[in-house]
Amino acid sequence: MKSFRFLNPASLDEAIALATAPDAGDARFLAGGQDLLTEMQEHLAEPDRVVNLKSVPGLDRIEAGGGRLRVGALATLVRLEREAAVRARWAALSEAAASVASPQIRSCATLGGNLCQRPRCAYYRIEEARCLKKGGTECFAYGGSNKYSAILGGGPSWIVHPSDLAPALVALDAEIVLRGAGGERRLPLEKFYVLPADGDVTKETVLAPGEVVTEVVVPEPPAGARSTYLKFRERESYDFALAAVAASLVLQDGVVRTARICLGGVAPVPWRAPQAEAALLGRRLDAALAKQAAAAALAGAAPLEQNAFKIPLTKTLVERALLALAR
Ligand SMILES: Cc1cc2nc3c(=O)[nH]c(=O)nc-3n(C[C@H](O)[C@H](O)[C@H](O)COP(=O)(O)OP(=O)(O)OC[C@H]3O[C@@H](n4cnc5c(N)ncnc54)[C@H](O)[C@@H]3O)c2cc1C
């Protein structure tokens, strides 16, 4: 690991100033370290400065009230998994948090770090492979080993976004709050992520250098709302999603009044499924409708040589999630 300066700011403003100072070089924020430290060990990240966000007070709150849930970027996943209000009213979020990695990792990993974590594609993680994500000219998954790659929204990179929390929060219509040297900005979480074809292929988000995720704000679900997160992984003990679905519905007498569906593990960003949502609206949710919505969610899928299995897998997850919410 390359040597670096480790800095413990006492405030958010100080953290941003330390990361954006003219002599900062490559500065990175550290939260739970469950991704960043591995990146540094593997020479994927070689920062000159590591700015520790854990020394900034007040970034770890979880507050439910006033028509919304506010979760600070430093809130750990174990707290999101266990917090009674989150389990009761934002079930998809607590279920997604509970599905991440192992209890040890969840007790260190934070919301902000989970949303900003880097891809898990083996080519990206191998130091020697200079893939498109690392400034190279080629996505080696295309025509290479692509069992775990994207089936939706792929090209010119076929990574899948690894976060479990992101699809759940998109399905719950969350907003993300960012703060940088130029002030604060808020955007729908969905707009935080960018497809490889739409921006800088070496990045997954619109986060600017020196900008901090401060919190995520989730609206209070209306009466009749329910949500869930279903994930399929190869290794049951702990693993990233081969495919996942977050669904949030408002049902009245069994009829779908609003629907938000977001897929995980299948696209370079958390993947909204608007055709599936449209197929559900105003209709009674039964097995036939769940199947129809699942087919609509995967209608645009374009698998590579080794990952067509993700299509029936993801359809099954969508069907199961919808039927679980209908019960
Ligand atoms: C064995 C293993 C299994 C895993 N399994 C899963 C899984 O199943 N599902 C899943 O979703 N994840 C999984 N992960 C990834 C892990 O959950 C995430 O890496 C973790 O949530 C990151 O959080 P952190 O607080 O440790 O982030 P860090 O490692 O501290 O940071 C991660 C990245 O985010 C940036 N960052 C952190 N906080 C902020 C902020 N507030 N503002 C701006 N930038 C920030 C850092 O600079 C860094 O680039 C796994 C990790 C391991 C090691």
Mean pLDDT of 248-259: 97
Residue 12: pLDDT over 90: yes
Is the minimum distance from the CB of 81 to ligand 1 under 6 angstroms? Answer: no
What is the CA(30)–ligand 1 centre distance, in A?
Answer: 9
Give the pLDDT confidence of 193-205 residue by residue, as tens digits.
999 999 999 999 9
pLDDT band at 321 (very low <50, low <70, confident <90, very high): very high
Indicate which residue's Cα is closest to atom 43 of ligand 1: 212
Q: Is the pLDDT of residue 229 over 90?
A: yes
For the segment 176-188, what is each residue's pLDDT rounded down to a tens digit?
999 999 999 999 9
Which atom of ligand 1 lies at the shortest distance from residue 36's CA? 29
207, HSE (Cβ side, Cα atoms, 13 Å): 25
Q: What is the pLDDT of residue 133?
A: 97
Tell me, using a 6 A CB cutoff, whether residue 276 lines ligand 1: no
| Nearest CA owner, ligand 1 atom 21 | 114
Judging by beta carbons within 10 Å of its beta carbon (0-12, 13-18, 19+), is residue 282 exposed, middle or buried? exposed
Whether 112 shows a pLDDT value over 90: the answer reads: yes
Tell which residue, 266, 253, 169, 164, has the closest CA to residue 218. 169
Would you kindly state where each structural domain of the chain is located, as residue ranges? 1-51, 62-117+159-219, 225-326
Would you say the CB of residue 229 lies under 6 angstroms from ligand 1? Answer: no
Class of domain 62-117+159-219: alpha beta
Q: Which tens digits make up the pLDDT trace of 140-152? A: 999 999 999 999 9
Q: Does ligand 1 lie within 6 Å of residue 35's CB atom?
A: yes
Quick check: 1 pLDDT over 90?
no
Q: Which amino acid is at 225?
A: A
Pocket flag, ligand 1, residue 313 (CB < 6 Å): no
Contact 154, 265 (CB under 8 A): no
Query: Which segments within the chain are labelled E, that is strand?
Result: 5-7, 27-30, 49-52, 62-65, 68-72, 175-180, 183-188, 212-219, 225-232, 243-252, 255-264, 271-272
33 φ/ψ sector (left φ>0, alpha ψ -120 to 50, else beta) = left
Amino acid 254: pLDDT = 94
pTM above 0.75, yes or no: yes
At residue 263, does pLDDT exceed 90?
yes
Query: Are 51 and 15 spatial neighbours (Cβ–Cβ below 8 Å)?
Result: yes
Name the average pLDDT for the chain: 97
pLDDT at 154 over 90: yes
Dist. CA 191–CA 193, nearest whole Å: 5
> What is the pLDDT confidence band of residue 221, given thresholds at 50, 70 and 90?
very high
Q: Is 113 in the pocket of ligand 1 (CB under 6 A)?
A: yes
Ligand 1 centroid–CA 296 distance in Å is 31
In the reported structure, the alpha carbon of residue 73 is separated from the centroid of ligand 1 by a whole-number distance in angstroms of: 11
Distance of CA 277 to the CA centre of its chain: 20
The H helix count followed by the E strand count for the chain is 13, 12
What is the tens place of the pLDDT at every residue in 116-137? Answer: 999 999 999 999 999 999 999 9
Fold of 225-326: Enolase-like; domain 1 (3.30.390)
Q: Domain 1-51 carries which CATH code? A: 3.30.43
For residue 307 the two structure tokens come to 């990952």
